[in-house]
Structure 1
Amino acid sequence: MAETLNPKDKVLLMREEGEGSNLKVVQGISNKGKIKAIDPLKAKQTDFLIIDKHADPIENFFKNFVNQAKNPSHTGFFAISVELLDKVIKMSDAELENYRVNPKDFLKEGKEESTKESQNQTQTQTTTSTEEKSAELEPKTEAPDETRREFTQFDTTRIPESEYQKFGITPEDLEKELNAMSYGFKSPHLIDINLNIDGERYPMQARLSLEEQPDGNLKIISYPRLNQVDLDKPFQGVILPDDVKENLLATGNGGRVVELEPKPGEKVPSLVSIDQLTNRLEAVPADKLNVSQNLKGVELTGEQQQSIKEGKKVLVEKMTTRYTMGTDNPRYIDAYVQFNAAKGRYDFTYDGLDRNRYNRRQTQIQNNNIRIPKVLLGVPLTQQQQDKLRNNERVIVMGMVKNGRKFDSSVKVDLKEGKFEFKKINPETLELLRKGPKTQSKKKVEKKTQENPTDNQQDKKKLQTNNTTKSAGVRM
C-alpha cells in the first residue's frame, strides 16, 4: 500500500455483479479468497491498492483471487485513476466498462483465458425490408451454453479495415464501445451504421459484438434495432405464453420462468427480458442465476431469494442507497426488485411505494434537532438501534439508568415533542428479555413492538394491576 497517492495513480475498485452495483475500494484478499473492501467515501489513502504490474501486492491479490475465489465471474474489477475517484460513483454502467480489468489478463498479459457467460440469442424476424436484409449478417440461433466457455480477451487490432467499411464506421466510432466488446459483450450503446449489402447502403442503428474467425481475424456482428418487439414469433423454439407477453410489454421482464426449447427436445427453463436498446428478446437459464443473500444491506429471506430466481418482482424494504452505503448517515429506500435477463442485473422499480418514507422521518428528526446518541442513559446503542431511532422506529433498550435507578424500556423518537419517548414493556415480554432470549426471539419482540406502538387493551389491564414499576409513559 502506498503512503501517498499520485493523481495519475490507478487504484483498484470492485463490485459484485447484479448486486445493486455498489463500488468498493479493494484493500486486499484473504488466503481463502475473501476480498477485503471498503466504501469509497470512508477510504483513506493507505486503504487503496495501486495497480502496478511490477508491484507484489496487486499481483498477489489477483493470483489469490483467481486461485481461491469461488465465483470469480460474479466480481467486476475496475482500474480508476485517483483524479477520477470523485466522479466514478456517478458513472453509468456503460462508462464504467471502459475501466474494467480482467484478473487473468492482467497476470498473463492477455494470454491467459478467462470466463464469461455466452451471449447467444434467438434472432427474430424484422418488420421492415431493411431489417430483413441486415439479418443476413446476424448470427444463427444457438442454444444457451449450460457451462461457461473459456476465451481470451480479443485484440481489437485484429479487426480488418474491411469490417469497418462494411458497416460504414471507423475505429473512432467504436472508441467507447471496444473495451466491452473485447470481452465478448455487445456494445453498451446503439451505433449508427450504414450496412453495405450487395453494394447498397442501409442506414440503421445497432448494437455490435465481435466474433473470432478461423484465420484469427475478428468479425463484427450486428444486432439492428427493431421498430418494436415481436412477441408473436417463436423465441428459442416456443411461442411465449400470453401472461409472459403481457409482462414483457409492461415491465420488460417475463415475470416468471419459461421453458424454452433452443434445440429440438432440449428444454431449458429460462428468464426472458427485452433488450430495451434493440427491442430484441434475451434469455438467461434459470439455473445460472445466483441470488445473493444480502442486497444493499438487507438480508433476503429464503422466500425472497427463491422468488427472484423465479423471475418475480419482490418487495425489498429499507435498502441502503448507493451513495450512503457505509456512511454515518445512511439513507434508506423501498423498491421492487426483479432480475433483468437482458441487462444481467436487477431492475429496481417504485410503483405505488412512498419514496420519501424514510427521508421524511429523517428530515423531521433533523428539523427538531434530535440527536441520536451512541449511548442512551448509560447504555451503548448498537448501530442497528441508532439507525432504527433515526428512522423513527421503536427499539428495546435494557439497563438504562435515571436518578440512580435502572429500568428497561421501549424507546422511540417523539417528533412532536422533539424528545425520546419511553414506554414500559409488558411484563411477559420483559421477563423473556431478562432471561436472555435468543436473538431471533428478541428481533420478533422488537418487530411486534414496532407494529404495535401502543399497548393493546389486554396489556393495559395487566399494567394497571401491576404497579410495581412507575416508569410507564416517561418522557425525557
Structure 2
Amino acid sequence: MEKENNSELSAVEKIGSTLLVLHRSSSTIGMVQGVDQNGELKDNGFKEISSDQILHLDTEDRSFAQMFSEFYHQLKDPADFSFFKVTEYEAQQTAVDLQQYVDQASEEEKELLKEYEVSIDAVEAHRGLSDGNKVTDYRVEDRYLYNPEQVDWKMMMKVGLSIDKLREMGALEPMLKGYKTPMLVPVEFKIGSVVTQMEARLSLRVTHAGNLEVRFYPVRKDPDFTKTFLGHEFTWEDQRNLMESGNMGRLVDLVYPITGEKIPSLISRDRLTNDLIAVRTNEMRIPLVIKGVTLNEEQKKVLREGRALFIENMLSRRGTLFNASVQYNADKRYVEFLFKKNIKSLRVGELKSRFKAEVPGMFRGKKLKIWQMEKLKAGETAYVDGLVDKNGKKYQGYLRFDRAIGKFEFSFRNVWKEEKDPKKVFSKSKGKKL
C-alpha cells in the first residue's frame, strides 16, 4: 500500500494506480469503479473484479489531485468511505491483506489507517486554493457525472443555447460534472412574441422521476433579507457580512424542510447571482494544510464556525511567503482566500439604502394598499384593517416597517404616536388620584 502523507501528496508511481475503498459502516474493502448519477459509489469485491473494471488513475500528480477532488465531491455520503491509492499490480493482494487487517483490528487500530488513506484535505491543498478550484480541460468520459446525450438539447435551443456554445464558453464541462457553471450564461425565454433575456448560472440535476433537467439560477438585484431563510432571521451584521465578503461569518441552526430538524449550518451569498446558499457543518471539509501551513485545532475550529482566519507565512506557487485571511464559503464548499477582489466595500449608509424601499406588499395575508405602502416607505405608521386571526376573527391595528431589521412592527393601538405625544404619555402615567 502506498503511504499518503497528510501534509502533501506523494509522487504518483509511473506504473498504473487505482483506488481501494473501506466502507466504514460495514468494515468491508472494495475496488473502486466510479460514481453513479445519484452520487452512489460504484465498487466491486476484490475477489471477482477484473482489471478492465477498476478505476485507472493518471500518472500525473496534478491530474490525480484534480480527479480525486471531483470524484470525492460527487459522492452522496463521502464520510462513510476511506480511500487508498495502490498500484494496479498489487491492488488485489493489498485488498485481501487490508480486509484481513480490518476484520481483526480494534477501533483504535482502525484509526491508524488514516496514516495511509488519501486525504481530501491534502489533495485540495495540493491543487492550490488560490485558483478557486478552477476546472481544467481534460476529457475522460468516465469522470463526468452526466453524458451530453442525456441533455435535452431541443429544450436548450429554445433558450438560445447549444452544446457548441456552452463548450466554447467553458460552461459545458462543469455542468456535466454536476457543478454550476462558473460564469453567468445569457439565456432567452420566448412567450408568444415577447422575448425575455437574462443571465443565469446553470446546472444539471436528476429529477425524482429519473429525468435529467437543466436548472437556472438567475441574477437577483439583492438577496431578500426581509424573509426568513430556513427559519433564520438575518441581523444587521449578517446582512453586512453577506454583502461585503459573501460569507455570513457565524454558525446558525437552520430548519431543513424535508426532515424539519435543526442543523448547525453556514450561509454564504453566491457572488454572481446573489442567491443565499447554506451548507451543513457535517458536510464541511476543513483542510489540514493551507499553502504549506498546518492548521492547529483552534484554527480549524475558527473555520468550522464560519469565521475568517488570518494565516501568516503561507508559501505561494512562486516560492514566496505571504499572509492572507481565509474563510469557508458555503456556496463553493471549500475554504477560500479573502482577497480584495472577493470583498465588496459598502458604506453603512449605502447598505441601508438597499433595503429602504424593500417594504413587502403583503402583511399577514392581506395585500397592502398603495397609500399604506407609501407611508411605510416614508417611515410613517399606517392603519390596517380587515386582518383575520387563526380563528377567523377580524381585527385591525397600526403597522410600521423597521428598515434596520427589515421587519414589520404591529400594534393594536398606535403606540408610536403615544411615544411622540409626551403629554399623553405623562397623563397616562399619573395614575389614580389619592
User: What TM-score comes out, normalization by structure 2 length?
Assistant: 0.49
Larger relative contact order (C-alpha < 8 A, sep ≥ 6)? Answer: 2
User: What TM-score comes out, normalization by structure 1 length?
Assistant: 0.45
